[in-house]
Amino acid sequence: MNQTLHERLHLTLELQRSAFRAEMSPSMAVRQDRLQRLRAMTAKYSDALVAAIASDFGHRAVQETLLADIFTVESGVKHAQKHLKDWMRTRRMPTALHYLPASNQLMRQPLGVVGIVSPWNYPYYLAMAPALAALAAGNRVMIKPSELTPATSALMAQIVAEFFKPEEMQVITGDADVGRAFTQLPFDHLFFTGSTAVGRHVAQAAAQNLTPVTLELGGKSPALIDRSCNLKLTAERLAYGKLLNAGQTCVAPDYLLVPQEMVEPLAQEIIGAMQRMYPTLEGNPDYSSIAAERHLTRLQGLLSDAKARGASLLPTHQETLSGRKLTPHLLLDVNDEMAVMREEIFGPLLPIVGYSRTEEALDYINKHERPLALYWFGEDALAQQHAMAHTHAGGVTINDCIWHLGQEDQPFGGVGASGMGSYHGEWGFRTFSKEKPIFSQARFAGTKLFYPPYGKTFALLLKLLKKIV
């Protein structure tokens, strides 16, 4: 490893560690001030962030950045500011009868220095959403953003340095080597958002230091279409969920499970909905580009592989596109031998798998790795309850896509290969806190009766305890 890089990272970590040791329990006023500065920074530089993200992507719809990168951070900060006093409160906890008159409390304390590794697809939100939770919990923060969004990463480093002292929060830019060295630091908590493959390496690096990790990964998130659904409404919502950010969203619907007799009608409705939302693609400011040339090449490879293996490709538009824009495609007659059905797509391609019986569809979901998101469309309440009880997923939206991610009063996180741990709202505060149990013994305590020398009294008391607990 480059020694200069090693020293730089460790000096930054030690700077923040020293500052934390000098202020291990920041007051609510201090935390509110840090959150307010994050909010002010976001507001001041929202236009610059929009421009930087558009530059990195080649083209990114302004409205998508304003909604998914800017508003999400602002709303998350406001929610934290509103609830911070309650989150910080030391809670009185129940005490079992046989320990009275002692008492229990639960104190939430900051962990120390939190490392955040953020991805390229929503580069500001996915860096600052965990950061705001860590700051609210009273921690210091180091962020390593993606090297695939260099303009945005450089801007984040600049604006964070303007609004925060380096011992409070700092952005470390650099390539994949910097990222690897970053994950090897002995943080008090490491938060990673990205692919499952890279997440495995991050977890292994953190394990060398026994650093606890939160992994926000991905996977193939299915949309299960029930026969009771409203076909037109379902198609419209699937079209939006799939083409937001040109499909480059960790919770985008990755494939559809559709009753066999509804495959063709639904496919046509989805194509129609996509065409209404995006009448053209070339030159349309609402339709985003693929963020990097290698991702465009990968997606084109998925289409070629699927076609070669017998899939029917249904392009939504008949246009020749320039730059890194990619025509959305629906894919019929797919199977698990195709790469598009084995890899997370992360683009505007939507395979449709037909099924005959609901149990067949549930079995298909359950025999694959557990997804980050699951979508269910229909009006049959019993069928909905059955699907929820017989599947696992990080989170669920019923009769729509993606919107469970925006709920600050619900945890967001994966399960199995799609991640571990959660954040958003109070769950983020708790992720970056140590919930320390405190047992306070009374001056006169019955526990003295259990002291040695042991004899008949001990046996009688233990027998009594077994009856009252």
Active site residue 229: no
Residue whose structure tokens are 């291990």: 24
Which is catalytic among the residues 168, 216, 236, 269?
A: 216
Which is catalytic among the residues 236, 250, 401, 426?
A: 250
Q: Residue 188 is encoded by which pair of tokens?
A: 């008090």
- Say how many CA atoms lie within 13 Å of 448 toward its Cβ: 7
**Residue 372 neighbours by CB distance under 10 Å:** 28
How far the first Cα of the chain sits from its last, in Å, is 57
**Residue 97 identity:** L
- Residues 178 and 448: their CA atoms lie apart, in Å, by 56
3-state SS, the chain, equals: CCHHHHHHHHHHHHHHHHHHHHCCCCCHHHHHHHHHHHHHHHHHCHHHHHHHHHHHHCCCCHHHHHHHHHHHHHHHHHHHHHHHHHHHCCEEECCCHHHCCCEEEEEEEECCEEEEECCCCCCCHHHHHHHHHHHHCCCEEEEECCCCCHHHHHHHHHHHHHHCCCCCEEECCCCHHHHHHHHCCCCCEEEEECCHHHHHHHHHHHHCCCCCEEEECCCCCEEEECCCCCHHHHHHHHHHHHHHHHHCCCCCCCEEEEEHHHHHHHHHHHHHHHHHHCCCCCCCCCCCCCCCHHHHHHHHHHHHHHHHCCCEEEECCCCCCCCCCCCCEEEECCCCCCHHHCCCCCCCEEEEEEECCHHHHHHHHHCCCCCCEEEEECCCHHHHHHHHHCCCCCEEEECCCCHHHHCCCCCECCCHHHEECCECHHHHHHHCEEEEEEEECCCCCHHHHHCCCCCHHHHHHHHHHHHHC
Q: Are 125 and 69 in contact (CB under 8 A)?
A: yes
Active site residue 264: no
What are the backbone dihedrals phi and psi of residue 424, each rounded to the nearest 5 degrees, phi first?
90, 135
- Residues 371 and 392: their CA atoms lie apart, in Å, by 7
- Residues 191 and 214: their CA atoms lie apart, in Å, by 5
**Residue 94 neighbours by CB distance under 10 Å:** 7
Could you give the residue numbers annotated as active site?
Answer: 216, 250
